[in-house]
């Protein structure tokens, strides 16, 4: 099977699967399935995958079919569908919350339209951008942006909240220059009258 309508590429953040837009959807689907069979156990736990669609616009039914194919493949989680005009394309289809089971490292960005839950740490230099809430079951030392599309009720909570920078909707706050001893308890950040407040959870 040599169509090359489906191309796998790696980058800093994980895997990119390009579905070329000049191929028929059914061809893409078949090639994707057979590529996954070839790949076998290649995917380790929770490899982050972004799907590039080019100029293709998927119908709801087509999206569901694609998502089903990805769901059946172990070891990967789809972060977002990207087509040429919009990065936040309908990843909501996957459900409202994205669960990541690993440490997010410097230079990596997790971007999701819904909520993001991370079972692991977020290291300095990593960025978490969610349309909804962010919950970190570990140390949060990176940059977090909750309510990225303007939701002022979004919150960022972490088992240990020591971020470089927090953003909620369009408000920003940064860590103080002299590091304060952060309490050894979980904390939550939320927006109150244009100020980001951090409180015990």
CA distances (Å), origin 58, targets 26, 53, 65, 90:
12, 9, 10, 10
CB atoms within 10 A of CB 69: 13
- Please, what is the end-to-end C-alpha distance for the chain in angstroms? 54
Phi-psi region of 71 (alpha: psi -120 to 50; beta: other; left: phi over 0): alpha
Query: Which residues are CB-contacts of 142 (< 8 A; sequence separation ≥ 6)?
Result: 104, 106, 122, 123, 124, 125, 126, 127, 128, 163, 164
Segment interacting with another protein (CB under 8 A) among 8-16, 85-93, 95-103, 182-190: 8-16
Instruction: Pick the closer one to another protein by CB: 40 or 179.
Output: 179
Pick the stretch among 9-17, 37-45, 54-62, 114-122 that binds another protein (CB under 8 A).
9-17
Decide whether 152 or 175 has the Cβ nearer to another protein.
175
Which of the residues 133 through 192 are near another protein (CB under 8 A)? 143, 164-165, 172, 174-175, 177
Contacting range for another protein; rule: CB under 8 A; set: 23-31, 35-43, 107-115, 188-196: 107-115
Smallest distance from another protein to CB 150, Å: 17
Interface with another protein: number of residues (CB under 8 A) = 17
Binding site for another protein (CB under 8 A): 11-13, 106-109, 124-125, 127, 143, 164-165, 172, 174-175, 177
């Amino acid at each position: 099977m040599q169509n090359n309508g489906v191309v796998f590429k790696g980058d800093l953040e994980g895997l990119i699967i390009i579905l070329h837009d000049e191929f028929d959807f059914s061809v893409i689907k078949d090639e994707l399935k057979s590529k996954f069979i070839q790949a076998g156990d290649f995917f380790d736990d929770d490899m982050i995958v972004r799907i590039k669609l080019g100029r293709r616009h998927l119908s709801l039914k087509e999206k569901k079919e694609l998502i089903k194919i990805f769901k059946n493949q172990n070891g990967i989680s789809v972060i977002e569908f990207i087509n040429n005009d919009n990065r936040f394309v309908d990843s909501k289809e996957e459900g409202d919350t994205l669960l990541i089971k690993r440490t997010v490292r410097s230079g990596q960005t997790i971007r999701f339209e819904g909520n993001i839950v991370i079972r692991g740490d977020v290291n300095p230099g990593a960025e978490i951008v969610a349309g909804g809430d962010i919950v970190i079951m570990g140390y949060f030392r990176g940059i977090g942006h909750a309510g990225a599309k303007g939701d002022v009720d979004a919150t960022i909570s972490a088992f240990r909240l020591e971020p470089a920078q927090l953003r909620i909707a369009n408000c920003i706050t940064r860590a103080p220059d002299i590091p304060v001893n952060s309490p050894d308890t979980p904390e939550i950040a939320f927006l109150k009258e244009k100020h980001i407040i951090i409180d015990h959870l």
